[in-house]
């Protein structure tokens, strides 16, 4: 049996995303150059929700894209083609824009490293920022988030599971420890 | 999301692919098409890997397509043709493969006029082997690109009526397509003169659902897809056909036949074409003819397969 504990409720997630939306606005002195790019899978719905929050308080619709980083992973040789390649869907040119990458959990930083390489292949943004729902620590690369929903100290043996309505039917973040 | 199907080392034919694995490769190929639509048509996935294209039989589109696919994934690519290699000095296929292995090749793509040559290579090579066409036997990447093209246009393969017309007896394209199409639930009809088709039992022994027809107008009525195959001119010398003109009249996809099919039927051809023999020039340029898309999709499908075999 594993011991699971809820660390974010649906309401916590909603508030965290609204706060991140405001912070993105403040940090960039407005939103006209901002494009939100969710890292697939769970970063994509989070980016949509941040865009919806921005639309609520600013009345503007910022562009949203989805990025698949599978082809940029650094563990193909050791782990094989274990992940499915999904489509990258970014309709807008990222050159000279402020790209805000959105992901569910920031852990080793390797996914973000892959995402930075992927974005660089699509254009030359003015800036790239990172928004995550949960930062659980244990970085293996010099990467940090600009916007964090919740910092959660974890041990490496623990698992952080983000469940979202769009993919899992429910909004919550769980932490589980092997017994 | 993780890949549902087991790791794969070789792609020698579609006979050992499950429907799920085929669909997964087609999905991956669609993602690869997005990469190919970018300004920078390259991702770093296979950086540092070496792919060797061994072409013992002439080919333009397949060889270039495999080269572009491997390069788009950042692999090192070396292509050689039998002419100008040690093959001319009498080096055996097995020796050549051992040499490539010693030189550090990770994957081999082979086209050969002998059926079974890729299987032989797979037994003597530690890395992955992809069959790029062997004799009359198999051409799995052609079948995959055909499936992708059909799926893009018609949504799904299941329940579609697909007619393959032409020199089926000698066609590796027909055989691999039979595996792929029947696995995904299409209804396949083979149509050719008896000399280019052989006895029906030869086909139904392996693909019990397949239908056989010797009359093209009957076969293609109501078809969702009509696939014309190249007629090799050698077949006439071998006495299998009275004349090209006779074949054309009876089996070619002509503007008249196209008109009877309607605008929704896809017209396909694996190339290279003999225009005016198995397919008319007016048909090649018709709006429901997707021959150029087949070629474009070939690169994406081969990228998907190279990715699948990497590890």
Domains of chain A: 12-156 (3.40.50.2020)
- Cis upstream peptide for B260 (omega within 30°): no
Q: In which region does residue A176 sit, left (phi positive, over 0), alpha (psi from -120 to 50) or beta (all else)?
A: beta
Q: What is the mean pLDDT of residues A109-133?
A: 97
Higher pLDDT, A11 or B238: A11
User: Is B172 annotated for ligand binding?
Assistant: yes
pLDDT > 70? residue B4: no
Beta-bridge partner residues of A178: none
- Whether B154 and B288 map to the same domain: the answer is yes
Q: How many CB atoms lie within 10 A of CB A14?
A: 14
Model pLDDT for residues B216-246, shown as the tens digit of each residue:
999 999 999 999 999 987 777 888 888 888 9
Q: What is the mean pLDDT of residues A162-172?
A: 96
Q: Which among B28, B304, B311 has CB closest to A80?
A: B311
CATH number at residue B176: 3.40.50.1370
Query: Does residue B7 fall inside a structural domain?
Result: no
Q: In which region does residue B10 sit, left (phi positive, over 0), alpha (psi from -120 to 50) or beta (all else)?
A: beta
Q: What is the mean pLDDT of residues A21-42?
A: 96
- The Cα B254–Cα B18 span in angstroms is 36
Q: Distance of CA B223 to CAs B3, B200, B220, B264, B286, Å?
A: 34, 20, 5, 9, 17
Q: In which region does residue B223 sit, left (phi positive, over 0), alpha (psi from -120 to 50) or beta (all else)?
A: beta
User: Is B63 annotated for ligand binding?
Assistant: no
Q: What is the DSSP letter of B159?
A: T
- Matching residue, tokens 């659980």: A136
With a CB cutoff of 8 Å and minimum separation 6, the contacts of B261 are B220, B223, B226, B267
Residue B5, pLDDT score: 67
- Whether B174 and B206 map to the same domain: the answer is yes
Q: What is the mean pLDDT of residues A7-31?
A: 97
- Whether B112 and B175 map to the same domain: the answer is no
- ipTM score over 0.95, yes or no: no
- Whether B75 and B152 map to the same domain: the answer is no
Q: What is the dihedral of CA A166, A169, A174, A178, to 10 degrees?
A: -110
Nearest to B169 by CA among B246, B231, B250, B224: B231
Q: What is the mean pLDDT of residues A83-96?
A: 93
Q: Does A41 contact B1 at a Cβ distance shorter than 8 Å? A: yes
Residue B125, pLDDT score: 96
Q: What is the mean pLDDT of residues B1-13?
A: 79
Q: How many CB atoms lie within 10 A of CB A168?
A: 12
Q: Does B311 contact A117 at a Cβ distance shorter than 8 Å? A: no
Cβ atoms of B52 and B100 closer than 8 Å: yes
pLDDT band at residue B270 using 50, 70 and 90 as cut-offs: very high
- Whether B168 and B283 map to the same domain: the answer is yes
Q: Does B304 contact A85 at a Cβ distance shorter than 8 Å? A: yes
Question: Cα B15–B223–B14 angle (5° rounding)?
Answer: 10
- Whether B228 and B243 map to the same domain: the answer is yes
User: Is B271 annotated for ligand binding?
Assistant: yes
- Matching residue, tokens 């992940």: A83
pLDDT > 90? residue B20: yes
Q: Does A81 contact B3 at a Cβ distance shorter than 8 Å? A: yes
- The Cα B192–Cα B208 span in angstroms is 18
- Whether B35 and B71 map to the same domain: the answer is yes
Find the residue in B nearest to A68 (Cα).
B31
Range from A44-58, B20-34, B89-103, B107-121 carrying the lowest mean pLDDT: B89-103
User: Is B137 annotated for ligand binding?
Assistant: no
Q: How many CB atoms lie within 10 A of CB B44?
A: 17
Nearest to A129 by CA among A62, A61, A57: A62
Q: Does B311 contact A83 at a Cβ distance shorter than 8 Å? A: no
Ranges assigned E (strand) in chain B: 50-55, 76-81, 107-112, 128-134, 161-165, 187-191, 211-213, 225-228, 266-268
Q: How many CB atoms lie within 10 A of CB A179?
A: 6
Counting residues of chain A whose pLDDT is more than 90, the rounded percentage is 90
Q: What is the mean pLDDT of residues A93-117?
A: 97
Nearest to A83 by CA among A104, A69, A94: A69
- Whether B175 and B131 map to the same domain: the answer is no
pLDDT > 60? residue A1: no
Query: Does residue B285 fall inside a structural domain?
Result: yes
- Whether B203 and B305 map to the same domain: the answer is no
Higher pLDDT, B85 or A77: A77
Q: Which among A79, A82, A86 has CB closest to B31?
A: A86
Beta-sheet pairing, B266-268 with B225-228 = parallel
Query: Does residue B105 fall inside a structural domain?
Result: yes
Query: Does residue B61 fall inside a structural domain?
Result: yes
- Matching residue, tokens 């595996």: B179
Query: Does residue B299 fall inside a structural domain?
Result: yes
Chain A interface residues facing chain B, Cβ-Cβ under 8 Å? Answer: 41, 68, 71-73, 76-77, 79-89, 117-118, 121-122
Counting residues of chain B whose pLDDT is more than 90, the rounded percentage is 86
- Matching residue, tokens 């098409």: B33
Structural domain including B24 reads 14-138+295-309
- Whether B290 and B301 map to the same domain: the answer is no
For A35-56, b/e burial (b = at least 16 CB within 10 A) is bbbbbbbbbbbbbbbbbebbee
Nearest to B171 by CA among B238, B271, B249, B77: B271
- The Cα A32–Cα A26 span in angstroms is 12
Query: Does residue B6 fall inside a structural domain?
Result: no
Q: Does B310 contact A76 at a Cβ distance shorter than 8 Å? A: yes
Q: Which among B31, B38, B307 has CB closest to A68?
A: B31
Query: Does residue B9 fall inside a structural domain?
Result: no
Nearest to B141 by CA among B233, B250, B53, B230: B53
pLDDT > 70? residue B287: yes
Q: What is the mean pLDDT of residues B171-181?
A: 98
Q: Which residues on chain A are in Cβ contact (under 8 Å) with B28?
A: 84-85
- Whether B123 and B170 map to the same domain: the answer is no
- Whether B289 and B299 map to the same domain: the answer is no
Counting residues of chain B whose pLDDT is more than 70, the rounded percentage is 96
> How far does A129 lie from chain B, in Å, by closest CA?
22
Domains in chain B, number: 2
With a CB cutoff of 8 Å and minimum separation 6, the contacts of A2 are A176, A177, A178, A179
Show the DSSP H helices in B163-290 as ranges.
172-183, 200-204, 216-220, 234-237, 244-251, 255-261, 281-284
Q: Does A121 contact B42 at a Cβ distance shorter than 8 Å? A: yes
pLDDT > 60? residue B1: no
Query: Does residue B3 fall inside a structural domain?
Result: no
User: Is B10 annotated for ligand binding?
Assistant: no
Residue A68, pLDDT score: 97
Nearest to B147 by CA among B109, B115, B192, B179: B179
């Amino acid at each position: 049996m594993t011991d699971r504990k809820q660390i974010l409720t649906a309401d916590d997630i909603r508030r965290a995303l609204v706060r991140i939306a405001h912070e993105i606005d403040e940090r960039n002195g407005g939103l006209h150059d901002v494009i939100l790019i969710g890292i697939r899978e769970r970063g994509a719905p989070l980016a949509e929700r941040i865009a919806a929050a921005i639309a609520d308080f600013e009345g503007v619709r910022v562009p949203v894209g989805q990025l698949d980083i599978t082809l940029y992973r650094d563990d193909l040789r050791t782990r094989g083609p274990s992940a499915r390649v999904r489509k990258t869907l970014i309709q807008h040119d990222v050159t000279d824009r402020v790209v805000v990458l959105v992901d569910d959990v920031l852990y080793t930083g390797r996914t973000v490293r892959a995402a930075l390489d992927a974005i660089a292949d699509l254009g030359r943004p003015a800036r790239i920022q990172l928004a995550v729902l949960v930062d659980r620590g244990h970085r293996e690369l010099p990467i940090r988030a600009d916007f964090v929903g919740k910092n959660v100290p974890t041990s490496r043996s623990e698992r952080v599971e983000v469940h979202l309505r769009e993919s899992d039917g429910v909004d919550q973040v769980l932490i589980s420890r092997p017994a | 999301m993780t890949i549902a199907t087991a790791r794969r080392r070789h792609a020698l034919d579609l006979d050992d692919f499950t429907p799920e694995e085929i669909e997964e490769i087609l999905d991956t190929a669609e993602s690869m098409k997005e990469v190919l639509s970018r300004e920078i048509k390259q991702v770093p996935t296979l950086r540092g890997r070496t792919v060797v294209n061994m072409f013992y039989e002439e080919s333009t589109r397949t060889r270039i397509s495999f080269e572009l696919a491997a390069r788009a994934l950042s692999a090192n690519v070396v292509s050689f043709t039998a002419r100008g290699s040690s093959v001319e000095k009498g080096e055996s296929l097995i020796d050549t493969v051992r040499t490539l292995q010693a030189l550090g090749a990770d994957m081999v793509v082979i086209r050969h006029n002998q059926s079974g040559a890729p299987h032989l290579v797979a037994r003597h090579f530690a890395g992955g082997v992809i069959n790029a066409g062997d004799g009359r036997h198999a051409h799995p990447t052609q079948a995959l690109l055909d499936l992708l093209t059909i799926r893009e246009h018609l949504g799904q393969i299941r329940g579609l009526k697909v007619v393959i017309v032409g020199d089926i007896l000698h066609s590796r394209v027909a055989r691999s397509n039979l595996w792929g199409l029947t696995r995904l639930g299409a209804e396949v009809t083979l149509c050719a003169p008896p000399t280019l088709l052989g006895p029906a039992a030869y086909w139904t022994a392996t693909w019990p659902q397949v239908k056989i027809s010797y009359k093209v107008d009957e076969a293609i009525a109501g078809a969702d897809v009509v696939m014309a195959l190249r007629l090799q001119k050698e077949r006439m010398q071998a006495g299998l056909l009275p004349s090209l003109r006779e074949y054309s009249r009876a089996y070619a996809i002509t503007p008249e036949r196209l008109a009877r099919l309607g605008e929704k039927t896809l017209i396909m051809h694996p190339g290279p074409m003999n225009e005016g023999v198995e397919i008319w020039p007016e048909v090649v340029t018709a709006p429901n003819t997707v021959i150029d898309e087949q070629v474009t999709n070939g690169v994406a499908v081969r990228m998907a397969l190279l990715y699948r075999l990497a590890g």
